[in-house]
């Protein structure tokens, strides 16, 4: 496995972590269900992992999957491409674009992958109303826990 590093200059921005204090065990969360779903879809598509798919090749196989499976795995495939875009955005100093990608991740986790909880939804929604948030996404085991927020300094 090759690891690439990027130097980050957040300029007038910084990260703020907000802990929801919500705790879920991975074994009782949607984590195992989603992992099994991805394994099942990979088998249907004849690949080892769904991460081997790019968005175009995955979209071309839409007819092979029920809507629920397609929607969830499409989130995974598009998220992999978002990570690559985020790496490039950070490397170019495109901080607002990086924030947009964080927001897209958050939207996908909540509405496509369906792993969220009311508490974290509330935290993210409230911080966005503040007007200082450039981007926000959920982090933490079990798909809940904290929101990582890219904010204007000060």
CATH number of the 13-152 domain: 3.30.70.890
Dihedral sign of CA atoms 104, 81, 110, 132 in order: negative
Burial 93-128 (b: 16+ CB within 10 A, else e): eebebbbbbbbbbbebbbebbbbbbeebbebbeebb
Backbone φ and ψ for 133, nearest 5 degrees, come out as -85, 125
Q: Per residue in 17-76, pLDDT tens?
A: 988 887 665 545 677 889 999 999 999 999 999 998 999 999 999 999 999 999 999 999
CB atoms within 10 A of CB 74: 21
Q: Per residue in 74-103, pLDDT tens?
A: 999 999 999 999 999 999 999 999 999 999
């Amino acid at each position: 496995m090759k690891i690439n590093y990027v130097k980050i200059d957040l300029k007038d921005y910084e990260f703020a972590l907000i802990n929801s204090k919500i705790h879920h065990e991975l074994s009782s969360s949607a984590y195992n269900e989603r992992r099994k779903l991805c394994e099942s879809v990979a088998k249907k598509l004849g690949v080892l992992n769904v991460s081997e798919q790019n968005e175009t090749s995955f979209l071309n196989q839409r007819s092979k999957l029920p809507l629920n499976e397609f929607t969830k795995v499409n989130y995974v495939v598009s998220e992999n491409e978002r990570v690559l875009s985020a790496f490039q955005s950070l490397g170019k100093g495109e901080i607002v674009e990086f924030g947009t990608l964080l927001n897209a991740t958050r939207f996908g986790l909540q509405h496509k992958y369906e792993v969220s909880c009311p508490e974290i939804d509330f935290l993210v929604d409230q911080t966005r109303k503040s007007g200082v948030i450039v981007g926000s996404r959920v982090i933490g085991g079990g798909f809940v826990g904290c929101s990582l927020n890219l904010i204007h300094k000060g």
